[in-house]
Amino acid sequence: MLSLIHFYGYNIPFASVIKFSPLKSKTRAFGFFEGNKSHIKLANMEQERVEERSMDISLKDLSKQLEDFAKVRNWEKYHSPRNLLLAMVGEVGELSQIFQWRGEVDKGLPNWKESDKEHLAEELSDVLLYLIRLADICGIDLGDAAAKKIIKNSIKYPEPKVFEEMF
């Protein structure tokens, strides 16, 4: 017989607790709850909506989410350009620590543990989120600026001509 764990009034099959991954399956795990309650379906729909949206999320979306995040916590007073820059540099340090003392790392990180990859994804995200917030607070449209910079780069570093590629 499947063993059940009691959690906030719900009986959860033990197997689903083992599968539980806090990063990806937070609400999907609710689908394993006993019964057919409508809020379970809603939780699953919300999870699907978040996963769909995260596939093509824009810098503007992230910027708005960060603005709301700071607003509801009354943290706007801390989000000055200088504080955000220092916070971002701190996160770059945390990102660097992941690679520290490992020697050269193969592309795709084939020999890394899943937990190390998840940690890397989190630190990369922290750097990106502070960068986006910094740009927003400085009144810079980062998507627009980055697209313009790519064009500028291609003018500064033109593609090699065909005969140059032959030699």
Ligand X SMILES: Nc1ccn([C@H]2C[C@H](O)[C@@H](COP(=O)(O)OP(=O)(O)OP(=O)(O)O)O2)c(=O)n1
| CA dist., res. 132 & res. 124, Å (int) | 12
Separation of alpha carbons 38 and 5, rounded Å:
21
Are residues 50 and 29 in contact, defined by beta-carbon separation less than 8 angstroms?
Answer: no
CA distances from 163 to 146, 153, 155, 167 (A): 31, 22, 19, 7
- Interface positions, 2-61, toward ligand X (CB under 6 A): none
User: Which residue from 113, 132, 140, 115 is spatially nearest to 59, judged by alpha carbons?
Assistant: 132
Pick 7 or 78: Cβ nearer ligand X: 78
Using CB under 6 A, which of the segments 5-13, 37-45, 106-114, 125-133 binds ligand X? 125-133
Q: List alpha helices for the chain, DSSP H.
A: 14-19, 38-55, 59-72, 81-99, 114-137, 142-156, 162-166
Among 50, 75, 109, 145, interactor with ligand X by CB under 6 A: 75
Shortest Å, Cβ 35 to ligand X: 36
Compute the least distance from the CB of residue 7 to ligand X, in Å. 26
Say how many residues touch ligand X, by CB under 6 A: 7
Q: Closer CB to ligand X, residue 14 or residue 69?
A: 69
Q: Does 78 bind ligand X (CB under 6 A)?
A: yes
As measured in angstroms, the least distance from the Cβ of 133 to ligand X is: 6
Instruction: Please choose, from the candidates 84, 86, 76, the residue with its C-alpha nearest in 3D space to the C-alpha of residue 129.
Output: 84
Restricting to residues 126-165, which ones interact with ligand X according to CB under 6 A? 126, 129-130
User: The tokens of 27 are what?
Assistant: 């609400």
Select the span of 19-27, 42-50, 57-65, 123-131 touching ligand X (CB under 6 A): 123-131
Q: Which of 94, 116, 124, 146 contacts ligand X by CB under 6 A?
A: 94
**What is the contact surface with ligand X in residues (CB under 6 A)?**
69, 75, 78, 94, 126, 129-130
